[in-house]
A and B are shown apart, each in its own frame.
Chain A
Amino acid sequence: MNLSLRLRKFPLWSSVWFVIGILYFFMPLYATLDFSLRMERDKISLKAYQVAFSDGRFLDTFLTSNILAVATIIASVILIVPTAYWIRLRVPEARRIVEFITLMPFVIPAIILVFGLIRVYSTPFKIPFTDIVFLEALTTFEIGTDVLMVAGYMVLALPYMYRSVDTGMRTVDVRTLTEAAQSLGASWVTIMWRVILPNLRSALLSGALLTFAIVVGEVVLASFLGVDAFGPYLFLLGQHRAYEPAALSFIAFLLTWGAMGIIQLVTGEQGQAAGAH
């Protein structure tokens, strides 16, 4: 009885598709793992991992990418949360336009973005109508390049970040919550810190995770702006080596899943609250 019930909930075709899906995802992963363990002939070993880790550039580039990712996440949150909030609150009619804009990175390839950035920011900034330079070209010094990188990454991450934030705001009905808080005497700052942001926690975390994944694996922007980030390093390694990139890819994959697991843990209770709402 119980079994037949369960079978009915899981009809044959659903199960078949499910299994195909699982295979589709895990076969390549398994292949990568298997390959990364075969650096030494006829033997399973962690040699590839050893070699990959012992390269100093691995740690350097990985660190750089992480810092860039964190900077991107912080800047995105500062830009997107108030924007999405204001649109929901005061200009709901602008939502379609903004949503369309946030989809642009899907339509315009990163290569165009990076050429645009280089073209605009590789000349020094002058006070208009004079020759006085008040800022060197951003591409010519490190902090400048980093700023460009973060700005570019923000564009690439926009669809993911905006969507998670906007969905988060819809599920908790920020508009009514804001009005409730206002009627209780709260100022805008209080509303933002005590009501809006805490209720967006899970949305922000998932947006942050996606941003992180994009930034750490990104190649085009970093290569063309000449930043030693993790993406280009992995790419370069892939061209010259066989086993180490496989090992690093697998590690990157584990890191991503680890991060997702943490988010699940941290937001478990919250998600439930939002769901019940």
Chain B
Amino acid sequence: MAYLKLSNISKVYGSGKDQTLAVQDFNLDVQQGEFISFLGPSGCGKTTTLRMVGGFEIPTTGSITLDSNDITNKAPNQRNVGMVFQSYALFPNMTVAGNIGFGLQVRKEKRDAIKQRVEEMLELIQLKQYGDRYPYQLSGGQQQRVALARALAIRPQVLLLDEPLSALDAKIRVDLRQEIRRIQQRLGITTIYVTHDQEEALSISDRIVVMSHGLMEQTGTPFDIYNYPTTDFVAKFVGQINLIRIDVVDMTKGLVKVGSQTITVGDKEKQLRSMKHLAIRPEEITAGHKEGNNNLHGKVYNVNYLGAIIRLGVDVDGVRVSIDVFNQRNMKIPKEGDVFEFNFPVEACWLL
């Protein structure tokens, strides 16, 4: 039995004409100690689902169980769930130590116990000297670490984070997400992390739930989500992908045409019946000709210099393909109008 179980959850906001179906058919089993990310574009229902676990919204249908207890209709203060908000939400009238100790005070724990736990937490988030400061005396990243410590101090059964890093700048975002992961693994706490940043989700999760329009698109490990997307949406939303229109030449042999050039997609007869696009990650594509691979050539129409990589737009007989090339010192960077030859392995071809 899963530690945290969401069964047939749906949520409808409003009533009558202006109803919003924010979440539907949501089923998820979370194991104890697992780090799950909800990933999806704005408005897809990530926050709503998270808030239902936290008790701030009541599901319209379905149930939520935590450690075999039904918590579907329990008030937020009756659940043992820690929450971290995008806006930090530290209490401005309390010091850092006061904030971290708040949940324990509410639970009427002994003074010494609280003090000890606060020390422990401050150490965990590496802000030992900051106990007496007020929130406004801290940077955004520090404030969010305190918010994390505050949520963890009460030893919650589940930790919920709603885009905790969105308000921070890029560098701190990367540092802090590793720190969150480190702390999560050290405490072994079951965690749900909401984000619309795919890199964030891919880098720290055990499993990712990709959502769109209130529906779960795919659930899986970061590796599966990236390498084996099961829906169109996931393929396009997670990572960069080229969708290339194809015309079938020979279904049984797996031969297809891109523009007027013929390539093979392998043994995919069944998929070729219904699917009309070839999907390839840009990094699967290499410049030049290679025997045994699929080879295509086209005219460069766009060169995008991104630092470590150069993203080329290539026009293959009217079909546009985007290709990432590693930026090497001795490389001759293609110019617009150049003819560019490239290849990719047969196994890298998906059909969508």
The CA of A172 and the CA of B89, in the complex, are separated in Å by 9
A-B residue pair count with CB separations less than 8 angstroms:
82
Contact pattern, B 131-161, Cβ under 8 Å of A = 1, otherwise 0: 0001110000000000100110010000010
Contact B93 A183 (CB under 8 A): no
- Which of B56, B91, B160 neighbours the largest number of chain A CB atoms within 10 Å of its CB? B91
Contact B134 A182 (CB under 8 A): no
Of the listed stretches A3-11, A28-36, A266-274, chain B binds: A266-274
Cβ distance B100 to chain A, nearest Cβ, rounded Å: 10
The answer, yes or no, to whether A147 is at the interface (CB within 8 Å) is: no
- List chain A residues, Cβ under 8 A from B82: 183-184
Partner among A179, A185, A273 whose Cβ is within 8 Å of the Cβ of B93:
A273
Cβ distance A180 to chain B, nearest Cβ, rounded Å: 4
Contact B135 A273 (CB under 8 A): yes
Known interface pairs A198-B93, A273-B92, A274-B92; A183-B136 also in contact (CB < 8 Å): no
The CA of A270 and the CA of B154, in the complex, are separated in Å by 27
Interface residues on B, range: 20 to 34
Contact pattern, B 80-115, Cβ under 8 Å of A = 1, otherwise 0: 111101010111110000000011001100000000
Contact A273 B89 (CB under 8 A): no
Partner among B55, B79, B87 whose Cβ is within 8 Å of the Cβ of A176:
B87
The answer, yes or no, to whether A186 is at the interface (CB within 8 Å) is: yes
- Which of B55, B89, B93, B151 neighbours the largest number of chain A CB atoms within 10 Å of its CB? B93
Contact B83 A180 (CB under 8 A): yes
- List chain B residues, Cβ under 8 A from A41: none
The answer, yes or no, to whether A15 is at the interface (CB within 8 Å) is: no
Enumerate chain B interface residues (CB-CB to A < 8 A): 54-56, 75-77, 79-83, 85, 87, 89-93, 102-103, 106-107, 134-136, 147, 150-151, 154, 160
Interchain residue pairs with CB less than 8 A apart (18): A173-B87, A180-B83, A180-B85, A180-B147, A181-B102, A182-B56, A183-B151, A184-B106, A185-B80, A185-B107, A187-B77, A198-B93, A272-B136, A273-B92, A274-B92, A275-B136, A276-B136, A277-B135
Enumerate chain A interface residues (CB-CB to B < 8 A): 172-173, 176-177, 179-187, 190, 194-195, 198-199, 201, 270, 272-277
Closest 4 CB pairs of A and B: A276-B136, A184-B103, A183-B83, A198-B93
